Structure 1
Amino acid sequence: MGKALCGIIGVVKKASGSSISINCVEILRQGLKKLEYRGYDSAGIAVISQNSIVVIKDVGVVDKLFNSSELLSIEASVGIGHTRWATHGKPSKNNAHPHMDCSKRIAIAHNGIIENYIDLKNFLLANGHTFSSETDSEVIAHLIEHFKKSGMKTFNAFKKAVSMLRGSYAIVAIDADEPNKIFFARNVSPLIIGVGEEADFVSSDIAAFIRFANRVIVLNDGELGFISPNTVHIETLSGVVVDVYNRLKIVDSFMQDVEKGGYPHYMLKEIMEQPYALAQTFSSLQTQDLSEVLKILENARRIYVVAAGTSYHASLLGAIAFRRFLGVDAEALISSEFRVVSRVVKWGDVVIGVSQSGETIDTLLALREARERGAKTVAIVNNPFSTIARESDYVVSMRAGPEIAVAATKTFTSQVLTLLYIIAKLAEKSSAINVDSKAMIHGIKMSYEIAEKALSVSQGKAMAVANKLFQKHSAYYLGRVFGVPIAMEGALKLKEIAYIHAEAYPAGESKHGPIALVDKDYPVIFIYIGFLDELIEGNIEEMKAREAWIATIAPENMVRGSIEKYSNVVIEMPRAPLETRLITYAIPLQLIAYYTATLKGLDPDKPRNLAKTVTVI
Structure 2
Amino acid sequence: MCGIIGYIGFRNASEILLEGLKRLEYRGYDSCGIGIINPADSNNILVKKDIGKVKEVSESENFEEFCANTGIGHSRWATHGGITKENSHPHTDCKNEICVVHNGIISNYKDLKSKLIKKDHIFKSETDTEVIPHLIEEELKELKRLTGLKKDALDNIYSKEEYINCVKKAFEKIEGTYAVVIINKNFPDTLIGIRNESPMVVGFGKDDLEYFIGSDVSAFLKYTNQALPLEDGDMIIVNKNNTEHNCYNFEIFNLKNNCVKTDISKNILNLDWDIENAEKKGYEHFMLKEIMEEPEIIKNSMKISQEEIQKLSNLIDDCDKIYIIAMGTSLHAGMIAEYWFSKLGKLVIPCDSSEFLIKGIIDEKTLVVGITQSGETYDTIKAIKYAKSKGAKTASLVNVIGSTATRESDVTIMIGSGLEISVCATKTFMSQLVILYRLFIEYGKLANKDMGIYEQELQKIPEYISKTIENKEVIKRISENLTASNYLFISKGINLANAYEGALKFKEITYLHAEGMSSGFLKHGTISLIDENMDTLALIPPTKSPLLNSVLANVEEIKARGGKVIAVGPKKVDIETDTLIEVPDLIEEVSPFVYAPACQLLAYYKALAMGRDVDKPRGLAKSVTVE
For the criterion TM > 0.5, the same-fold answer is: yes
**What's 1:545 paired with?**
560
CA distance in 1, matches of 2:395, 2:269: 23
Q: How many Å apart are 1:584 and its aligned residue?
A: 2.5
Q: Give unmatched runs, 5+ long, in structure 1.
A: 1-28, 39-58, 70-80, 92-132, 138-188, 191-202, 208-258
> Which among 303, 312, 315 is matched to residue 293 of structure 1?
312
> Which among 600, 610, 625 is matched to residue 590 of structure 1?
600
Q: How many Å apart are 1:521 and its aligned residue?
A: 5.9
Q: Is the 8 A contact 2:485 2:534 kept in 1?
A: no
**What's 1:329 paired with?**
347
1:533 is the counterpart of 2:533 = no
Q: Is the 8 A contact 2:225 2:271 kept in 1?
A: no
**What's 1:559 paired with?**
573
Q: How many Å apart are 1:289 and its aligned residue?
A: 3.0
Q: Is the 8 A contact 1:317 1:485 kept in 2?
A: yes
**Which AA in structure 1 matches 2:497?**
P
CA distance in 1, matches of 2:495, 2:311: 31
CA distance in 2, matches of 1:512, 1:285: 46
**Which AA in structure 2 matches 1:359?**
E
TM (norm. structure 1) is 0.58
Structure 1 segment 492-503 matched on structure 2, within 5 A: 492-503=504-515
Partner SS for 1:359: coil
Deviations 1:541-581 (A, max 9, x none): 1111111111111124x421xx2x2x111112123343432
1:405 is the counterpart of 2:422 = yes
Structure 1 segment 160-175 matched on structure 2, within 5 A: none
**What's 1:486 paired with?**
498
Structure 1 segment 9-20 matched on structure 2, within 5 A: none
> Which among 460, 464, 467 is matched to residue 446 of structure 1?
460
CA distance in 1, matches of 2:453, 2:225: 33
CA distance in 2, matches of 1:453, 1:65: 44
Q: Is the 8 A contact 1:367 1:377 kept in 2?
A: yes
1:360 is the counterpart of 2:377 = yes
Structure 1 segment 141-160 matched on structure 2, within 5 A: none
Q: 1:290 to 1:367 in 2, by over 3 A?
A: same
Q: Is the 8 A contact 2:484 2:532 kept in 1?
A: no
Q: Is the 8 A contact 1:450 1:580 kept in 2?
A: no
**Which AA in structure 2 matches 1:261?**
K
Partner SS for 1:503: strand
CA distance in 2, matches of 1:582, 1:275: 14
**What's 1:104 paired with?**
none
CA distance in 2, matches of 1:85, 1:492: 34
Structure 1 segment 450-529 matched on structure 2, within 5 A: 450-457=464-471, 459-469=472-482, 471-520=483-532, 522-529=534-541
1:418 is the counterpart of 2:435 = yes
Q: 1:84 to 1:450 in 2, by over 3 A?
A: farther
Q: Is the 8 A contact 2:541 2:547 kept in 1?
A: yes
**What's 2:358 paired with?**
340
Q: Give unmatched runs, 5+ long, in structure 2.
A: 1-14, 25-200, 211-220, 230-267
CA distance in 1, matches of 2:463, 2:367: 33
> Which among 568, 571, 582 is matched to residue 578 of structure 2?
568
Once superposed, which parts of structure 1, at least 4 consecutive aligned residues long, lie more than 4 Å away? 59-62, 64-69, 81-86, 133-137
| Identity across matched positions, percent | 32
Partner SS for 1:284: coil
Q: How many Å apart are 1:278 and its aligned residue?
A: 0.8
Deviations 1:466-494 (A, max 9, x none): 2233x422100000011110000000011
Deviations 1:328-380 (A, max 9, x none): 111110000111212x2111011110001000010011111111111101101
**What's 1:373 paired with?**
390
**What's 2:409 paired with?**
392
Q: How many Å apart are 1:527 and its aligned residue?
A: 0.7
**Which AA in structure 1 matches 2:340?**
A
CA distance in 1, matches of 2:326, 2:624: 12
**Which AA in structure 2 matches 1:572?**
E
> Which among 290, 296, 310 is matched to residue 329 of structure 2?
310
Structure 1 segment 249-260 matched on structure 2, within 5 A: 259-260=279-280
Q: How many Å apart are 1:449 and its aligned residue?
A: 1.5
Q: How many Å apart are 1:37 and its aligned residue?
A: 6.5
CA distance in 2, matches of 1:311, 1:553: 22
Partner SS for 2:308: coil
Q: Is the 8 A contact 2:300 2:416 kept in 1?
A: yes
Partner SS for 2:524: coil
CA distance in 1, matches of 2:295, 2:418: 12
**What's 1:427 paired with?**
444
Q: 1:421 to 1:559 in 2, by over 3 A?
A: same
CA distance in 1, matches of 2:385, 2:437: 25
Q: How many Å apart are 1:60 and its aligned residue?
A: 6.9
Partner SS for 2:481: helix
CA distance in 1, matches of 2:332, 2:532: 30
Q: Is the 8 A contact 2:269 2:402 kept in 1?
A: no
Structure 1 segment 163-312 matched on structure 2, within 5 A: 259-286=279-306, 288-312=307-331
1:320 is the counterpart of 2:329 = no
Q: How many Å apart are 1:320 and its aligned residue?
A: 1.8
Partner SS for 1:362: helix
Q: How many Å apart are 1:439 and its aligned residue?
A: 2.4
Aligned residue pair count? 384
Q: Is the 8 A contact 1:486 1:586 kept in 2?
A: yes
Q: Is the 8 A contact 1:308 1:334 kept in 2?
A: yes
